Amino acid sequence: MNDDPEFEPAPTRGPPGPTAARIGGDGLPSRLAVLIAAGAALGLLINLAHPRAVRFASFAPPRVCSAGDEHTGAATPPAVELLSLAEVASLCGDPHAMVADARSAARFAEGHVAGAVHLPCASSRIAANAALDRLVGKETLVVYGDSTEEAMPVAEELRRRGDRPGLRVAVLAGGFPAWSQAGLACSSGPCADCGVHR
């Protein structure tokens, strides 16, 4: 008799089958079910007592581009400014200003405002956080898209996340089409120095 707990006695009927066949043997499925059930039960219990518990009934996935909805009430003054082409053009070369492109990566690569960083609406928190890191020392952030409406939620989100009272967050009126049609400085290609870009 072998007392080693690692030792598995030889099968009494025939040689051991192939690995795939043995996965279902030796009570493995029931043990797996027990482990998963234990994990699930423990998780639910911990969640029940957790101060940062996730609520099943009220959980709603965040909509990154609409995170500023709560700030758009009629009594609240607009926190994001709307800047004209001339005003944005005057910020070119200003080391305290940053321009962010909220369009898709493909549209960005086709052409964008010279010096702009790529920050699409769908980029979620990573790109937004990376952009916020780049905002250190900046006083003005201009966001643009294919239209004013496309850029506004991204600008709102950045203003909310940035939480810097002195930061001026603005949107380019008319978006990139207006900028391009006015013949203002553009460049093309992917965002070379963006930490996260897709």
Partner 1 sequence: MTPSGMSLRYTGAWLLRLGMGGLLVVAGLLKLRDPSAFAVEISNYQLLPSLAAYPAAILPATELVLGLALVVAPAPWRRAATVGVAVLFLFFTVAVTSAYARGINIACGCFGGGGDAIGPLTLVRNLALLLGISGLWVWDAPLRPAAPATPAQPS
What 8-state DSSP symbol labels residue 136? T
Smallest distance from partner 1 to CB 37, Å: 9
Smallest distance from partner 1 to CB 108, Å: 12
Site residues (CB under 8 A) for partner 1, limited to 79-118: 105
> Which position among 1, 13, 18, 52 is part of the footprint of partner 1 (CB under 8 A)?
52
Taking a C-beta distance cutoff of 8 angstroms, is the pair 102, 145 a contact?
yes
Q: Which of 124, 181 has the CB closer to partner 1?
A: 124
Position 55 contacts partner 1 (CB under 8 A): yes
Closest CA to 83 of 99, 69, 65: 99
Taking a C-beta distance cutoff of 8 angstroms, is the pair 153, 66 a contact?
yes
Smallest distance from partner 1 to CB 158, Å: 15
Phi, psi at residue 172, to the nearest 5°? -75, 120
Stretch that binds partner 1, among 19-27, 89-97, 109-117, 179-187 (CB under 8 A): 19-27
What 8-state DSSP symbol labels residue 76? S
State the number of binding residues for partner 1 (CB under 8 A). 50
Position 10 contacts partner 1 (CB under 8 A): yes
Distance (Å, whole) CA 9 – CA 41: 34
